[in-house]
Amino acid sequence: MKKLGLLPRLILGLIVGIILGKVGFVPLLRLMMTFNGIFGNFLQFVIPLIIIGFVAPGIGDLGKKAGKLLAITTILAYGSTIVSGSIAYLTNSALLKKILPTAAHTIAENSPEAGLLTGYITVAMPPLMDVMTALLMAFILGIAIAVVEGTAIKNLMNEVQTIVEKIITNIVIPFLPLYVAGVFANMTYAGEIVKIMSVFAKVFAIIIVLHLFILLLQYTVAGTMSGANPIALLRKMAPAYFTAIGTQSSAATIPVTLRQTKENGVNEGIADFTIPLCAAIHLSGSTITLVSCSMAVMMLNGMPITFSGMFGFILMLGITMVAAPGVPGGAVMAALGLLETMLGFGPELQSLMIALYLTQDSFGTACNVTGDGAISIMVNKIAGFKLEKKA
């Protein structure tokens, strides 16, 4: 099994998971959910450590360029998120009226999580800090390393990075295919997700096409800037895409995204800095999904849709969702307040949004993390580096 590459193992895990979910042998599925619960909690515990371990040394290694590149990366990531949401608005404004029925929605407004199995036991592993705190601490430590002449903090953070890399290499990567199998087995077994998919299949088809279009746009820009073939760059990111489909977490996919970005020739220091950062702040795929699903729900319920209202919603999404990059489905949870205050969604419509978003959360996450590689290539060029050819 280890002789297979990561991508074949992930695909195999996905297929096995669907088959086991169809078979529906509950004791085995609950055993898989027990592992997934423990592994998922472990991921939540190490995500802040991953962010600090990579972002702080990455900023420090960039020296005096750190502040400038931090600002550039943030602007590129936020800009990409806003452009993605705006394109989603324009596309859905043109297409949804033609494909959706005019009657009110017919989906039961209860969460698809009701049909999901749980594990036999739960082992709580609360993280030492939340993601935002980890990001702020990484920024402060990284800038301190870059500004202060001393080496004590720099050496300490380099050792933390080494420890985190060992955790990723020896624990996270080997167990990812099994985790993916559990996710798809449970989704297949639940059944309610399939029901929602059947009703909103056309909407989801638009979302997937938009995801692919945005990725092509991002890598066309990145490839043009760096003088590389966009399709070749995008192809190298396939393992990150499929890992995200299984984990449903941008932050949990950081190890694979980081590795594939370096395979594309991005400078190691730039990659170590931009990928963990973008996992938290670059949410183009999630924005496309939330904008598309919310517009579909609003049209089905006869609610008014205006560009000014939706654009304000998109601007706030790019900021609000930063709070939940490591939690599967966390983006829609973070957006519930905006759905209520800016779009007028009551509790029932919020429940419907949760159901719709969770049904295809993994594809939005896959778009997010794959796009992170394009942002990293752009920053690499702006920082004055060329893409390095890998043997």
Question: Tens of pLDDT along 252-267?
Answer: 788 899 999 999 999 8
**pLDDT tens sequence across 179-191:** 878 877 887 787 6
Closest CA to 290 of 360, 385, 376: 360
**Neighbour count for residue 217 (Cβ, 10 Å):** 18
Terminal-to-terminal C-alpha distance of the chain = 24
Query: DSSP letters along 155-214, please?
Result: HHHHHHHHHHHHHIIIIIHHHHHHHHHHHHHHHHHH-HHHHHHHHSHHHHHHHHHHHHHH
Integer-rounded Cα Rg, in Å, for the chain is: 21
Q: What is the pLDDT of residues 214-224, one digit of tens each?
A: 999 999 999 99
Signed CA dihedral, 68, 258, 376, 333: sign only: negative
In this model, does residue 105 exceed pLDDT 50? no
pTM check: above 0.75: no
pLDDT at 113 over 80: no
Domains of the chain: 6-383 (1.10.3860)
For 13-38, write each residue's pLDDT tens digit.
878 888 898 888 889 999 998 998 88
Mean pLDDT of 202-225: 93
Handedness of CA 39, 364, 353, 105 (dihedral sign): negative
